[in-house]
A = this chain, B = another copy of it.
Amino acid sequence: MKELEERIIKDGKCLSGGILKVDNFINHQMDSQLMFSCAAEFMRLFADKKIDKILTIEASGIAPAVFAGYLMRVPVVFAKKAVPKTMKDAFATEVQSFTKQRTYTVFVSKEYLNAGEHILVIDDFLACGNASLALAELCSQAGATVEGFGFLIEKAFQGGRASIAKNMPGTRVESLAAISSLDNGKIEFVKEGR
Q: Does A186 contact B (CB under 8 A)?
A: no
How many angstroms from the CA of A112 to the CA of B63 in the assembled complex? 17
Task: Please name the residue on chain B nearest to A53 by beta carbon.
Answer: B29
How many angstroms from the CA of A120 to the CA of B23 in the assembled complex? 20
**Interface stretch (choices A78-86, A131-139, A147-155, A176-184):** A78-86
Q: Does A103 contact B (CB under 8 A)?
A: no
Q: Which of these, B29, B35, B78, B85, contacts A77 with CB under 8 Å? A: B29
Q: Is chain A's binding surface mostly helix, strand, loop or mixed?
A: mixed
Flag if A24 contacts B58 (CB, 8 Å): no
**B contact residues around A15 at 8 Å (CB):** 86
Residue contacts A-B, CB under 8 angstroms, 11 given: A19-B86, A23-B111, A28-B78, A29-B75, A29-B77, A30-B77, A32-B67, A32-B75, A33-B70, A35-B66, A59-B78
Q: A28-B108, A62-B66 are in contact. List 18 more A-B contacts (CB 8 A).
A: A19-B86, A23-B84, A28-B77, A28-B80, A28-B87, A29-B75, A29-B111, A30-B76, A32-B66, A32-B69, A33-B70, A59-B80, A62-B63, A63-B76, A66-B66, A66-B67, A84-B100, A85-B100
